[in-house]
Structure 1
Amino acid sequence: MNGNYRREKKPQNTVVSLTMDESFFFERAVRALDRYQYDKALKYFRKTVELKPGNPVNHCNMAGILSEMGNYEASNEALLHVLEHVDPSMTECRFYMANNFANMERFEEAEDALLAYLEADASGQFLHEAEEMIELLQFELKRNLRQHHVLARQGSDRHERARTMLEEGMFAEASDLLEQLLEEYPDFAAAANNLALAYYYMGMTDRALKTVEDVLQKEPGNLHGLCNLAIFRRHSGPEGAAEAAQLARRLSTVIPFHREHAFKLATTLGILDEHEAAYQHFRRLLSGEEASSDASIHHYCGVAALLSGRIGIAEQMWKQTLKLDPEAEAARYYVERLPEWKQNGVSELVSYHYRLEAVKRSELWRRWEERLTQDSSSMQETLIHTLQSGNEEEKRQVLKAFYSFTDEKWLDALRVLAEDSSENQELRSLAQQALKNSGENVAEEKERSELQFSREPAELPVWEKRWQDVLDTAIRASCAPSDFGLRRDLEALWTDFLRRLYPDVPVFSYAQGWAAALDYLTDKLRRGESTYEEIGQRYGVSASTVGRYVKRIDQVCNIKERMTMHSRDHRKGL
């Protein structure tokens, strides 16, 4: 070798231009944070601040990672900068500063920051956490905190009552109380957010949107309001869906300080199909001691991992889910499907639902809907052939798709199935419903419901055991083993109710009361003659209890109005 080297020149057209904007560095910060590479995460968060210094979220993200690294002094400097130069309305920064001072054992300064937060924050966003910190500081300071005024306590007792009403499904009563509260304290953001939820549950979508938009006009960064607005918009038509997508992108840049906010944000992002951002939040949640033993969060993280291209991590998460909860059937199903997915790619819908039944219902709807849009004429021939010669499960899948063809061949196939006494009764009932959806006037049996609720999968990242307990209680008390039609109607009404409530679903601690109301209303929709007293005896509850829970479901689902519009001749008093 002669020591003379010659480097080949690369073609000039191989240069790739990267847009290194705020989002570029934010994504890298989150990726580094997920790998616990705090130094890299901090470097990238600093870059987002340089690029968009007027965005308070960037400063708070940087403050959060500094706090995680134990650099509490620098974290407080970033938070103080937000209050003094970026957005003075972000009073929660003072609460974060109090936490940092407490971690530095500078308890006098922690007291100052905490009292400043309590005296400035009308929403009470961290009121309970602040009360816990008060106990800590009093112990460390060996005295009571200085006399102070808690702004959020103005009307807080009424606000707590209203929140309890929402949890119990008393939406009309909660809205009345919250409206009164906001007349006295118009800047009470938490009360306004809950009022928006109450309106949404009662089907008053326009008022719900107006209320949450008022909150965000005053506090553009209010996380609870942004999450609610995104979900409200998601279910308000094509224009609303587009706005929801924009909100989802905005929410994906937020990193909450507290577990409750992180879970709220993660589930919202999952609903909005922002799986990468949802994964990052679920992953961070699992780093905490409390969440590490929660099977459901492992499951949600597994779904988010798979949907964001991390099949290996998804497998780990679902296996851990099964260790914590051997009855986690959706996780078990996905683990069984993983070998095929690794080889051939994911070939079916993967949803955040915790119950396998809900997963399959979502997959069924998607699969048939996609095939229909590809070629309606050939798809129709396939469906007709399936009705004529398929097995029971295949026929059930076709009929549950609820297609509304008007072609005579399709209608003939439905009529034959509906009138065939040798067929399964459930299939015959489904065929009758499909005929009705196709515009045919079918003389329905008394057992069929006159009102149909949405069969579209409720966009829920979870299906809680307590929700299923209510449905199971109603089915056991009211359905014979072969009564598939009634079971389906109970499930349809209950699913419609939950879909309208989500994400703030009541606790449902009294399953018998909710099940009794579900039974009563389903019977009314099927033109039954049940009374509160009869239903109450069946479930071992009082007639007044049945009436109370019936009212709550009706407030959400607008059953009286829908029955009246559908058939005034058959309307029953609720």
Structure 2
Amino acid sequence: MIERTSDETELSNVIPVTLDANFFFERAVRSLDRFQYDKALKNFRKAVEYEPENPVNHCNMAGILSEMGNYKASNEILTHVLEKIDPAMTECHFYMANNYANMESFEEAERSLMTYLEQDGAGEYLAESEELMELLQYELDRPAPLIKIRSREGVVEHDRARALLEEGKFPQAVDLLEEIVKVTPDFLAAHNNLALAYFYMGRFARAKECLGEVLEQDPGNLHALCNMAIFLQYAGDRDQLDTLLARLETTVPFHKEHVFKMATTMGILGRHKTAYSHFRRLLKDEEVGADASLFHYCAAAASNSGLHSDALRCWRQASKLDPASPVPAFFLAQLQQALAEGRAMSPVSYNYQLPFQEQLKQWKNNASSFTAEVRSNPLLRASFFWALRYGDSGTRMQVTEALRWIEDEEMSEVLGELLQQEPLQEEKLQEAALISLQRLIGSSLKENPVSAEEQELAQGDLPSSTEKV
């Protein structure tokens, strides 16, 4: 019988150590936990020696150097990774941008950050990139250049296009949206907003065609259905409109944005009680229930439905929330006067602004105020576009005179383009454009007062709700 010696017993209990990259990586992590950066760097270097083709080890080493304040050495390693080991490791550009920012090399930081956003498909550091972008904009005292963020293909450009729409810059919005839908044809929100932009510019046939493309891909798309209903009303197509309305009136949207879209659409289409029920749902939401304009929309729906006490209550609340605005006080006084005189209240627009006739009293003696309003109000700009496209020669001449007050490069560009084209004579649209234009520039206003019915058509309640992503 053979007995093991004590030495043999001790040797049998020894666990062999494998010196590889994982071994040194784990030691480096333990050193990091103890804030022993020198030891951590030493162990990460050893890990790199064992696996020189592993980009993660190099990035770990670069991260330690960055923590130690050696940003230049860190960027040298990150550049080595991108040039020699793994060019697809796009997060290295983000790390380099942070290093450059810490070195106060803000131009280089911006370039690296732009490269990361343009090349990275996963968007792992997208939130952090937005924070760094804000810092760089502050330090460089200028906005960052507009780029295509690969991880949000089309989203940033779409947000920019929505902003252009809301600013009334329709041609620029169309250019950008056309490019987006060309690159990403399944980006339905961009298609919907492109249809709106065409509609604002009076390109009615193209707007319907654009919506048709959306509904072909997604027959239940609420934004497209609502916009199509509005387009059909302006076209005077009652049969198709009634069929679509029957479908919309039985739809109960859940998402807040969809509720708002449905409410405004129902209001524009004259289904004021349905609109009122949707606006009331929104007012119960704490996030949006403190918005004065929302109380105005609800008041307009209530007033147009004959629910006068509800309308008074909503306009009073809007006045409290936005005491600087003359809008709630104006309509509140109008309704109180109508009730005191025992007459019907005139139809109220859902736009959160004074009626055009009230604004014209200010504009007729203040051209600069008129210019500022046209530049900032997309609905007024849309009226000009419609008049230019669908108006007769006399209307075009009136528009030309009015645009002389504005000195707006975009409006001048559109004027030049449209005056070279033969307008499409669609009676309903032409009538709306003519009435809108008269209200805008005050021509024959006293001699030919606008009726309440015409006012609602001209003021239009054009669909102003663009679709978000």
- Shorter chain as normaliser: what TM range? 0.3 to 0.5
Which has more radius of gyration? Answer: 2
TM, length-normalised to structure 2: 0.46
TM, length-normalised to structure 1: 0.39
